[in-house]
A and B are shown apart, each in its own frame.
Chain A
Amino acid sequence: MSKAIEKKANLQIKRDLCKGCKICVQFCPKDVLTMEGGKVKIKDIEKCIECGLCELRCPDYAIFLGGSEDEE
Chain B
Amino acid sequence: MASKLIKDYFRTDKLPHIWCPGCGHGILMRSVAQAIDNLGLDKDKVCIVSGIGCSSRAPGYMDFNTLHTTHGRALAFATGVKLARPELEVIVVTGDGDCAAIGGNHLIHAARRNINITTVVFNNNIYGMTGGQYSPTTPTNEFGTTAPYGNIDKPFDIPALAGAAGATYTARGTAYHAKQLTKLVEKGIKNKGFSLIEGISICPTYYGRKNKKGSAVDMMNWLKDNAVDIKVAEKLPKEKLEGKFLIGEFKNTTEPEYTEEYMKIIERFQKER
- Nearest B-chain residue to A72, judged by Cβ: B1
Contact in complex: A61, B22 (CB < 8 Å)? no
In this complex, the interface size class of chain B, counting residues with CB under 8 Å from chain A, is: 20 to 34
Contact residues of A between 33 and 72, Cβ < 8 Å to B: 55-61, 64-67, 71
Say which residue of B6, B10, B22 sits within 8 Å of A23 (CB atoms).
B22
Q: How far is the CA of A14 from the CA of B12 in the complex (A)?
A: 12
In the assembled complex, B230 has its CB within 8 A of some CB on chain A: no
Contact residues of A between 1 and 49, Cβ < 8 Å to B: 14, 16-17, 19-23, 26-27
CB B62 to nearest CB in A, in angstroms, measures 12
Q: How far is the CA of A50 from the CA of B114 in the complex (A)?
A: 41
Say which residue of B30, B179, B216, B217 sits within 8 Å of A61 (CB atoms).
B30
Which label, helix, strand, loop or mixed, suits the secondary structure of the A interface? loop
Q: How far is the CA of A2 from the CA of B20 in the complex (A)?
A: 50
Q: How far is the CA of A21 from the CA of B16 in the complex (A)?
A: 14
Contact in complex: A57, B220 (CB < 8 Å)? yes
In the assembled complex, B184 has its CB within 8 A of some CB on chain A: no
CB A25 to nearest CB in B, in angstroms, measures 8
Contact residues of B between 220 and 234, Cβ < 8 Å to A: 220
Q: List chain A residues, Cβ under 8 A from B22.
A: 19, 21-23, 59
CB B5 to nearest CB in A, in angstroms, measures 8
- Nearest A-chain residue to B3, judged by Cβ: A64
CB A42 to nearest CB in B, in angstroms, measures 16
CB A18 to nearest CB in B, in angstroms, measures 9
Contact in complex: A66, B216 (CB < 8 Å)? no
Say which residue of A17, A19, A20, A26 sits within 8 Å of B220 (CB atoms).
A26
- Nearest B-chain residue to A63, judged by Cβ: B3
Contact in complex: B1, A59 (CB < 8 Å)? no
CB within 8 Å for A23 and B216 given contacts A59-B25, A61-B30: yes
| Residue among A21, A55, A64, A67 facing the most chain B CB atoms (10 A cut-off) | A21
Contact in complex: B2, A14 (CB < 8 Å)? yes
In the assembled complex, B175 has its CB within 8 A of some CB on chain A: yes
Q: How far is the CA of A22 from the CA of B19 in the complex (A)?
A: 15
- Nearest A-chain residue to B179, judged by Cβ: A56
CB B247 to nearest CB in A, in angstroms, measures 16
Say which residue of B3, B20, B26, B220 sits within 8 Å of A65 (CB atoms).
B3
CB A57 to nearest CB in B, in angstroms, measures 6
Say which residue of A20, A57, A71 sits within 8 Å of B21 (CB atoms).
A20
Q: List chain B residues, Cβ under 8 A from A60.
A: 15-17, 21, 26
Q: How far is the CA of A20 from the CA of B220 in the complex (A)?
A: 15
CB within 8 Å for A66 and B16 given contacts A23-B220, A59-B24: no
Q: How far is the CA of A38 from the CA of B25 in the complex (A)?
A: 21
A selection of 19 A-B contacts at a CB cut-off of 8 Å is A21-B21, A21-B204, A21-B215, A21-B217, A23-B216, A26-B217, A26-B220, A27-B217, A57-B175, A58-B27, A59-B22, A59-B24, A59-B26, A59-B216, A60-B16, A61-B10, A61-B26, A64-B2, A65-B3
A residues near B (Cβ < 8 Å) are 14, 16-17, 19-23, 26-27, 55-61, 64-67, 71
B residues near A (Cβ < 8 Å) are 1-4, 6, 10, 15-17, 19-27, 30, 175-176, 178-179, 204, 215-217, 220
